[in-house]
Structure formats: C-alpha cells, structure tokens
A and B are shown apart, each in its own frame.
Chain A
C-alpha cells in the first residue's frame, strides 16, 4: 500500500507536463492530420472529407510551391555559408590576439536579439531605392546605380541568406570553439614533431576532430532554417511575388488569414514530414562521416 502511494506520488510529478504537452502539441498535431483530409473552413461546423485533394492542391498552389522551394534554398544556403565561415572564424578566435575578446563579442552579439529586429536593421542597409545605405556606398565609391537588393527574385533570396548568416555565424563559431578547446594539445605537439605544418595540422587533426561539432551545428542550422519566418518576412514580406515566402508564412497566410484550414493543415503536415526526413537523414549521414573521419 505504501509502495503504491509512493508510486502515485511520483507519477504526479509527470502530470503537468503530460497535460500541457498533450493539449498544446500532440492534440493539435493529430487534429492537423485529420483536418488535412477535410474542407473545413473554420466557420461552419459542417465539412466533408475530401481525401487527398488538399495534398494535391499543395503542388499547384503557386505560393506553396514557391515557399517550399525558397525555404529549402534558404536552409541549405544558410547552412553551407555559416559552416564555411564559422569554422575558420572559430580557428581565428581560438588564437590569442589583443582584440580577441571584443571580436568574439561582436560576432556573437547578433545571435541574441530577435531576427525580426535584425532584419529591419538590415532593411535600411539593403533598401532597394537610392537612399538605401548599401546603394549609397555603391554610388559614391563605385559610381554604380541602385541595385534591387530586396526586389529582384534572386537578389532578395540571397539577401535573406546573407542577413541570416550574419546573425548566427558567431553563435556557431562559439559552438566550434567549445570543441576546439577540448582537443588535447599533445596531438598538435606530436604532429609538429612528425613535421606537419600548421595547415596539415588543421587538415588532419582539427577538422576530423570537429566532425561531432559539425553534426550538431548543421543539425541546428537545418532544423532552424526550415522554420525560418522572421528574417524574410521583415526584409521582403515574402516578395517579390511569392519568391521569399517561407513555409511558415504560407501556413499562416493560407490557414489563418484565408481560413483554408484543410489546405494549410495538409501543408503543415507535409512540413512536419520534411523536417523529420531531413533531420533523420542528416544525423545518420553525418554520424557515419564522423566514424569515417576518426
């Protein structure tokens, strides 16, 4: 009896999290799956099952196809760019030089404020009109005409990637830095006795030993990238046209603004599957790579 009471007391500690998580995460996910097969519009209680119709509509809806393309382009573009920049940055910030701490703080700080705020700040720099700060620089220094940084389809996409990269590179460099500092110094000493120069040491010691850090960093970049919303929303509002619509924005647009609940639910379920697939694939591939490198 006492044992039973103790068990019960223990289980009570799980009750709050199970209740709130079931109500606000699991129940909506299941309902989202259910709604994706209906034509529910949020107003009338009567709705019909429409089978896979909503899923078929995903592929013919311009905003949705464009959002999927852009989100994937943004995610991989940002992940590659950040990784290419963060590793050398971490290697540099690991050296002892005079301005190291201030440089670390400068690169790290942009990862603290909201992405919306950072993107608005960059909005002044990238403003496509002549008064945009970057365009002013180009005019005065290179005598170039104004470039449509945020209104040309390709430039707008690249601009959002650059801003996002600026925002998180320092954060990822700190992550790599933590791993760099855990590499035993004797490895480098042994290598230099064997006659390896600094570049060879980086190539054959540092990079392979950073592989686990890369797995974590890339996973965070991919899952975070797929959920992108604030940066393109604040920079371009999703434009020009639907060119920089993120998946999140299109779910909000089609679902909440236009109350096409069925279509938006189908989209959100597809999104869930994309996130799941990429996460699983990435972790498996990169963990295999870790084993190969070590």
Chain B
C-alpha cells in the first residue's frame, strides 16, 4: 500500500514538471533577456546570455523615472487602502451594533454598489473628476479609489457580526461612548479581516491601469503600471530595456507575494467559503 502511493507521487513530480516549466517560462524569458544586449536578445531570445551584461539595469534607472513612479504608486496605494479600510470598518459599525430601519436601508443602498461596474460610470465620472479639479492629482485618484470601500464594508460587516454583543454592552455600562467603543474595542478586534482587506485592496490598486491612464497625465505623477505602458511606446525596438523595466517593477510585487502568500490563500479560502 505504502509503496504504490509513493510511486504515484513520484510520477506526479515528473508529470507536473513540464506544466510548471510552461507556466514559469514567460518569467524566465524576460529575466534572462535583461542580461543581454539588443543583438543577443534578438538572435537567441530563449538562450542564456552569451555574455552577461548588467548595463540595462543601470540604464533603466538613469533613463526612466521608475523610482519616482514607485513612490507615486506607494503613496496612492497606502493612502487609498488606509482610507478604504477605515471608512469600510466605520460604516459596518452602526449597521451591526445599531441595526434599525435607517442602517438597513443604508446597507441595501451600498449593496447595489456590488453590481455597478466602474466602466458603467466612466463617462460622467470623467466629467465629475475634471469639475472637481481632481484630474492629474495623486489625491484625486486616492479620492476615487476610496469610493471602492463598499466591498470592504461588506467584509467588515460579516466579520463584525461574530463579535459578541456582551463586549459592547459591558462597555456601555462602564460609560464608554459610541465613538470610544468603536476605536477602543471594535476596531482592534477587526485585525484579521483588516489584513485580508488590506491585501486584496492593495493588489488591485497597485495593479490598476484604467484609472491612472484616465486620470493621471503628467509623467511626474505616473504609477508603475502607467510607466510600463508609456515605456512600451518608447522602447519598441529595445526589448532588453523594456524587459528590464518590467523585471524591476515585478520585484516589489514578488516580495509582496512571498511575504503575503499565506494570507492571500487564507483570504481566498475565507471569502470563497462565505460566498
């Protein structure tokens, strides 16, 4: 019995090898080409470099404002996610701990937001952003992203329902205010769902292309994804340069992946099981 199962698993390692190689190949391909000259990359794009060069990396940092874009992306993501989590958690508090007709109506009103795709509101949104002078401003984009707190609100609401009532009732008797209960008791208890929300919101805002493309124009305000988009036009023939820029922008994403992998998987599982 033991022998057969061991044998079968050994076969799985071998069977899955080609699948893994194919899945990983695109990443291998761009990484390997960043160490090549243009000619070398054009001649043999898949082979290891005939001569390893590192000048592409130096040149990308010199020729593009990738560092600047990194800080812009970081600023937008951190501020948006912090606001989203805060606003979402705040909104869930009265709905769960002070349920009445008003909060129930508010909940249904927010629930509708799930079904409204960003694209369906795009045209008036563009006008609105320009009327409010929010175009080409980092804080403009942050404001826009914050309206996505509806999804976090629902995650928070689900989690908050598991917090025992007695906790807040005891606090009321002790003379704690509505405001104090939220900040001192509820919010600290939301840590697990805050982590999940932060990770998923970070992923989509960090990677978003449509909103930065529409609402940020000047090069100095570019996000990393937007920079990649612009570089595609600049480095049409210089593949190694473009690939180097891509690899550089993948580094923070890869670190995020390694550090957060467990939490991401947990988040998918939790969200899925509840759904």
Contacts and interface: CB of A to CB of B under 8 A. Distances in A.
Given A9-B178, A17-B88, A20-B143, A32 B239 contact: no
A175 B272 contact: yes
B122 A106 contact: no
Interface string A107-127: 111101111111011101100
A179 B24 CA distance: 26
A198 to B, nearest CB: 10
Interface stretch (A56-64, A95-103, A146-154): A95-103
B12 A251 contact: no
B121 A105 contact: no
B119 A125 contact: no
B123 A265 contact: yes
A16 interface: yes
B122 A13 contact: no
A108 B90 contact: no
Nearest to B93: A13
Interface in B180-222: 182, 203, 206-210, 214
A21 interface: yes
B53 interface: no
A6 B116 CA distance: 33
B269 A6 contact: no
Interface residues of A, number: 88
Given A21-B110, A27-B128, A98-B13, A16 B87 contact: yes
A160 B214 CA distance: 23
A229 B120 contact: no
Interface stretch (A76-84, A183-191, A200-208, A270-278): A270-278
A251 B94 contact: no
A114 B12 contact: no
B249 interface: yes
Interface string B116-157: 111111111111100000000000000110110110010000
Contacts of A98: 9-10, 13
Given A114-B207, A124-B45, A28 B13 contact: no
A145 interface: no
Given A24-B128, A32-B121, A35-B124, A106 B23 contact: yes
Contacts of B87: 16-17, 20
A136 B46 contact: yes
Given A21-B147, A121-B26, A216 B272 contact: yes
A86 interface: no
B90 A29 contact: no
A92 B264 CA distance: 20
B169 to A, nearest CB: 13
A96 B9 contact: yes
Chain A at the B interface: SS class: helix
B106 interface: yes
A291 interface: no
Interface in A148-199: 166, 170-171, 174-175, 178-179, 182
Contact of B149 (A11, A20, A226, A264): A20
Task: Select the residue from B23, B106, B118, B264 with max chain A CB neighbours within 10 A.
Answer: B23
A23 interface: yes
Contact of B119 (A24, A137, A174, A247): A247
A227 B42 contact: no
A281 interface: no
A255 B261 CA distance: 39
Nearest to B214: A256
B265 interface: yes
Interface in B80-123: 87-88, 90-91, 93-95, 97-98, 102-103, 106, 109-110, 112-113, 115-123
Contact of A25 (B33, B113, B232): B113
B27 interface: yes
Contact of B117 (A6, A9, A171, A226): A226
Contacts of B273: 178-179, 182
A211 B17 CA distance: 29
Contact of B207 (A24, A115, A179): A115
Contacts of B206: 114
Given A29-B121, A251-B122, 15 more contacts: A9-B178, A21-B147, A25-B150, A28-B121, A32-B123, A97-B13, A103-B16, A114-B207, A115-B207, A116-B209, A117-B207, A121-B27, A217-B272, A230-B210, A261-B123
Interface of B: 9-10, 12-13, 16-17, 19-20, 23-27, 29-30, 33, 42, 45-46, 87-88, 90-91, 93-95, 97-98, 102-103, 106, 109-110, 112-113, 115-128, 143-144, 146-147, 149-150, 153, 177-179, 182, 203, 206-210, 214, 225, 228-229, 232, 239, 242-243, 246, 249-250, 253-254, 256-257, 261, 264-265, 268-269, 272-273, 275
26 contacts: A10-B97, A10-B98, A11-B94, A13-B91, A17-B150, A20-B87, A25-B116, A27-B124, A28-B122, A28-B123, A28-B125, A29-B120, A92-B16, A110-B23, A112-B257, A114-B208, A120-B246, A121-B29, A122-B26, A125-B29, A175-B272, A178-B269, A182-B273, A213-B272, A264-B123, A271-B117
